[in-house]
């Protein structure tokens, strides 16, 4: 929770204390891609943690987001892979955090964030609205944390790549907000529209139709589970009372 957590985390590893407290951390001291000598996973992890605000769940999620890589590393056609490292890492994080005595809520939230940490991959290739909804639905109340983790996980020195990732997360967040607003409006839309009202009572456009639609909207908000038949029955009563 330090303002800059990088120095104390390196101290934890370099002194050997991490081997006793959280051995999954020094185990990350391996190259992301030994063939091409890409960045060290431990260095990457600590850099990611250092980019986050001082929030316990967020810091722990970034600390553990890649812990599954050593156990899942394999080579295929000259390329290193880490298939399902998020799922493996989530189980490892859950076990270690529980042993360290963190609360059940913190353990649940952090392990779930680790499991979801790779979900954003592929967004730049084009996601449908259904895929965006699925991402938001899976994250649930952890959506804000997940997007912060995604932003922090970019440690490239390539300014264009870094800017592109931030742009994509901005775009995703805007789409989630737009879709949520559309769903909210759809949920409030009455089952009976103005044409239905005019047909049902044999009237033309006018203030009485507007009043009926206002009643139907208020009814929808108050009792959102009413089906069409029940809504029509309630409207009939209201219409008769209004003469």
Query: Is residue 36 over pLDDT 60?
Result: no
Instruction: Based on the fold, state whether residues 67 and 25 are members of the same structural domain.
Output: yes
- Reading phi first (left if > 0) and then psi (alpha if -120 to 50, else beta), residue 121 is in beta
Instruction: Based on the fold, state whether residues 15 and 96 are members of the same structural domain.
Output: yes
**Which of 156, 172, 187 represents a domain boundary (last residue)?**
187
Instruction: Based on the fold, state whether residues 152 and 178 are members of the same structural domain.
Output: yes
pLDDT band at 39 (very low <50, low <70, confident <90, very high): low
Query: Is residue 186 over pLDDT 80?
Result: no
Mean pLDDT value across residues 129-140: 96
For residue 119, the model assigns a pLDDT of 94
* Model confidence pLDDT, tens digit, residues 119-133: 999 898 899 999 999
Query: Is residue 35 over pLDDT 50?
Result: no
Query: Is residue 202 over pLDDT 80?
Result: yes
Distance set, CA 35 to CA 17, 45, 74, 75, 98 (Å): 30, 20, 12, 10, 36
Whether 13 and 26 have beta carbons less than 8 Å apart is answered as yes
User: In this structure, which long-range contacts are made by residues 195-200, counting pairs with CB atoms below 8 Å and at least 24 apart in sequence?
Assistant: 197/235, 200/232, 200/235
**Which of 90, 117, 144 represents a domain boundary (last residue)?**
117
Range from 34-48, 91-105, 159-173, 175-189 carrying the lowest mean pLDDT: 34-48
For residue 31, the model assigns a pLDDT of 58
Instruction: Based on the fold, state whether residues 223 and 233 are members of the same structural domain.
Output: yes
For residue 184, the model assigns a pLDDT of 82
**Which of 170, 187, 204 represents a domain boundary (last residue)?**
187
Domain total in the chain: 3
For residue 225, the model assigns a pLDDT of 82
For residue 32, the model assigns a pLDDT of 57
The rounded percent of the chain whose pLDDT value lies above 90 is 76
The rounded percent of the chain whose pLDDT value lies above 70 is 96
Instruction: Based on the fold, state whether residues 65 and 139 are members of the same structural domain.
Output: no
Instruction: Based on the fold, state whether residues 174 and 198 are members of the same structural domain.
Output: no
Q: State if pTM tops 0.85.
A: no
For residue 74, the model assigns a pLDDT of 83
Query: Is residue 168 over pLDDT 60?
Result: yes
Range from 24-38, 45-59, 86-100, 225-239 carrying the lowest mean pLDDT: 24-38
Mean pLDDT value across residues 58-62: 98
Which pair of structure tokens corresponds to residue 86? 């998020």
Instruction: Based on the fold, state whether residues 24 and 135 are members of the same structural domain.
Output: no
Query: Is residue 24 over pLDDT 70?
Result: yes
Domain that holds residue 97: 1-117
pLDDT band at 19 (very low <50, low <70, confident <90, very high): very high
Instruction: Based on the fold, state whether residues 143 and 86 are members of the same structural domain.
Output: no
């Amino acid at each position: 929770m330090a303002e800059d957590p990088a120095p104390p985390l390196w101290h934890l590893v370099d002194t050997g204390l991490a081997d006793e407290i959280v051995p999954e951390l020094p185990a990350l001291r391996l190259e992301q891609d030994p063939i091409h000598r890409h960045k060290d996973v431990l260095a990457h992890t600590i850099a990611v943690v250092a980019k986050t605000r001082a929030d316990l769940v967020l810091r722990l999620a970034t600390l553990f987001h890649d812990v599954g890589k050593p156990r899942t590393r394999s080579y295929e056609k000259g390329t290193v892979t880490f298939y399902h490292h998020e799922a493996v890492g989530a189980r490892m994080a859950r076990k270690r955090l529980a042993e360290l005595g963190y609360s059940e809520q913190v353990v649940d939230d952090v392990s779930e964030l680790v499991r979801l940490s790779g979900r954003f991959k592929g967004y730049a290739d084009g996601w449908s609205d259904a895929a965006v909804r699925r991402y938001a639905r899976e994250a649930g109340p952890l959506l804000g944390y997940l997007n912060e983790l995604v932003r922090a996980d970019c440690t490239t020195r390539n300014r264009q790549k870094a800017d592109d990732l931030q742009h994509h997360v901005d775009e995703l967040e805007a789409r989630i907000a737009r879709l949520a607003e559309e769903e909210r409006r759809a949920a409030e839309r009455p089952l009976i529209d103005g044409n239905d009202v005019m047909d049902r009572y044999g009237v033309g456009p006018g203030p009485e139709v507007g009043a009926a639609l206002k009643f139907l909207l208020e009814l929808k908000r108050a009792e959102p589970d009413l089906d069409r038949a029940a809504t029509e029955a309630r409207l009939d009563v209201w219409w008769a009372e209004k003469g």
